[in-house]
Amino acid sequence: MVSQFVQLSVIGLANGAIFALAALGFALIYKSTGVINFAQGDFLSVGAYALYAGVATFGLHWSLGMLLAIAVAVVLALLVERLLLRPMIGESSIAVIMVTIGLSSMLQAVLLMLFGNAPRRMPRILPGGSIDLLGATIPVNRLVAIAIAAVVLGLFTVFFQRSRWGVAMRAVADDQPAALTMGISVPRVFAMAWALAGVSAVVGGLLVAELVGVSGTVAEFGLIVFPVVILGGLDSIKGTMVGGAVIGLLVQYTAGYVGGGLQQVIPFVVLVLILLVRPYGLFGEVRIERV
């Protein structure tokens, strides 16, 4: 009993780590630019495939592969921001959403074109093997995945609270005209939000490649971003951590104790409940808009 619980918990948290990293990119972009990015899952795919290409196709050391993947993701994110979304500033949010949905289809098609639809086997990067924990057999790479996500999310939190650019990003989120008159370049902050979202997508992609494998299904993580960020609060970094962990655990517990495919539905049940009870999420900003 205990061993099953421990096993489910670790796997749930490891999946939650991926959810949290995907959600982090989403929250970063939403928080500072107000764009709801439906292509976040595809950024995760791009990260995973770029890493795969670096390590498996070009035979690079994994650290170089990471750098390559980060470079690809950051350049892509910057291009998307500059070419697709900056011209959309001031357009209705539905129009902006449609652009990101189109981007999502486009990225999927490009990845399909480059890599085909067969699942790829990623050479192991994280340590393999397993350890015994309270009677449960736990794969080490899951624990490492949780640790990596914790460190990355921790760094982002410190960055937001402490660094000049982090505080500038919060300022832009709060009040754009005021940020401008403080000498903060809003376009640069937007670009930075996208670039950082690209970085978090690569780290997420690494975990996906390790734990799930590289295939077209990676983009499906993009869908589960929504329950995570709605639960945590659309614009909260802390919310992505808690939301990721809660959804990850919930899915595993449901799979382990209830089963029957309910685990695939449960995140969206949470999404609907949260929207009914607390639409701004656990840590989100309470916005009352008067029209």
User: Which residue in the set 164, 260, 286, 287 belongs to the binding site for other proteins (CB under 8 A)?
Assistant: 164
User: Which residue in the set 165, 213, 253, 266 belongs to the binding site for other proteins (CB under 8 A)?
Assistant: 165
Q: Which of 172, 33, 44, 188 is nearest to 97 (CA)?
A: 33
Is 115 among the residues that bind other proteins (CB under 8 A)? no
Is 183 among the residues that bind other proteins (CB under 8 A)? yes
Which are the contacts of 30, defined by CB distance < 8 A and separation ≥ 6? Answer: 36, 37, 229, 234, 235
Is 163 among the residues that bind other proteins (CB under 8 A)? yes
Q: Are 222 and 210 in contact (CB under 8 A)?
A: no
- Which CB sits closer to other proteins, 129 or 177? 177
Site pattern 238..277 for other proteins (x: CB under 8 A): ----------------------------------------
- For the chain, give me the number of helices (H) and strands (E)? 11, 2
How many residues touch other proteins (CB under 8 A)? 26
User: Residue 130 in 3-state DSSP?
Assistant: strand
The angle at the Cα of 226, spanning 103 to 278, to the nearest 5 degrees, equals 140
User: Among the candidate windows 82-90, 108-116, 133-141, 168-176, which touches other proteins by CB under 8 A?
Assistant: 168-176
Is 182 among the residues that bind other proteins (CB under 8 A)? yes
How far CA 30 is from CA of 93, 158, 229, in Å, comes to 11, 19, 10
User: Which residue in the set 178, 265, 273, 275 belongs to the binding site for other proteins (CB under 8 A)?
Assistant: 178
- Which CB sits closer to other proteins, 19 or 30? 30
User: Which residue in the set 27, 55, 184, 197 belongs to the binding site for other proteins (CB under 8 A)?
Assistant: 184
The angle at the Cα of 78, spanning 114 to 144, to the nearest 5 degrees, equals 70
How far CA 88 is from CA of 33, 82, 85, 99, in Å, comes to 11, 10, 5, 9
How far CA 52 is from CA of 21, 59, 122, 130, in Å, comes to 18, 9, 6, 24
Is 151 among the residues that bind other proteins (CB under 8 A)? no
Site pattern 191..230 for other proteins (x: CB under 8 A): -x--------------------------------------
- Which residues in this chain contact other proteins in the complex, by CB under 8 A? 155, 158-159, 162-168, 170-171, 174-175, 177-186, 192, 285
